[in-house]
A and B are shown apart, each in its own frame.
Chain A
Amino acid sequence: RKEVEQDPGPFNVPEGATVAFNCTYSNSASQSFFWYRQDCRKEPKLLMSVYSSGNEDGRFTAQLNRASQYISLLIRDSKLSDSATYLCVFYNQGGKLIFGQGTELSVKP
């Protein structure tokens, strides 16, 4: 089983829609989870950390489910500018940062 798995998409949604991505991880000892955003041909940028109790930043909500070993990202009221690839990231047991392959989101007018 891969250390991290993401649905690559693409997710095509209209403006204003709510969209959710999941990311599963295989190592139950993993800690420190993040969501990164990557625009086409650009570098990844930190979107938000994921805390055990769940956290929200404006239209974005991140959650962690340790029992089922997945993290999620919910985007409400999607904007055209949200179109990007979203990467889930975590630290594995060896202390290395592991990236998922990314989920592509395309928000249409």
Chain B
Amino acid sequence: NAGVTQTPKFQVLKTGQSMTLQCAQDMNHEYMSWYRQDPGMGLRLIHYSVGAGITDQGEVPNGYNVSRSTTEDFPLRLLSAAPSQTSVYFCASSLSGQGFSYGYTFGSGTRLTVV
């Protein structure tokens, strides 16, 4: 049982490049989400999904796309990288949309630098 697996752990991109951050969970969680964490800003929700085939925008969705073709996978695509997207990205999952007392399980993060 690996939990939530994120790849890559580190990435450097040039402005304008695109890439996909991978997230996979093996806990059969319905709810998955992507956050970014910047100094002094806390974690901010980018996109989330309440189940396969369903996605929605969070607080800071611009510049990012997601899809949820399977329960296990929730990739995050950067369409045209910008320096403002330099951040640490966390994927998280939970048994249900509310997550209540279960809380969320986070991946170990992807540290992205855009130059």
Q: Please report A residues at the B interface, Cβ cutoff 8 Å.
A: 8, 32, 34, 36, 41-46, 49, 87, 91, 95-97, 99-102
Contacts and interface: CB of A to CB of B under 8 A. Distances in A.
Nearest to B107: A43
A2 B67 CA distance: 30
29 contacts: A32-B98, A32-B101, A34-B103, A36-B103, A41-B109, A42-B108, A42-B109, A43-B106, A43-B107, A45-B106, A46-B103, A46-B104, A87-B42, A87-B43, A95-B97, A95-B98, A96-B45, A96-B48, A96-B58, A97-B33, A97-B45, A97-B99, A97-B104, A99-B35, A99-B42, A99-B44, A100-B42, A101-B40, A102-B42
Given A32-B100, A49-B101, A87-B42, 4 more contacts: A32-B98, A32-B99, A41-B109, A42-B109
A32 B100 CA distance: 6
Contacts of B41: 101
Interface of B: 33, 35, 40-45, 48, 58-59, 88, 90, 97-101, 103-109
Nearest to B6: A43
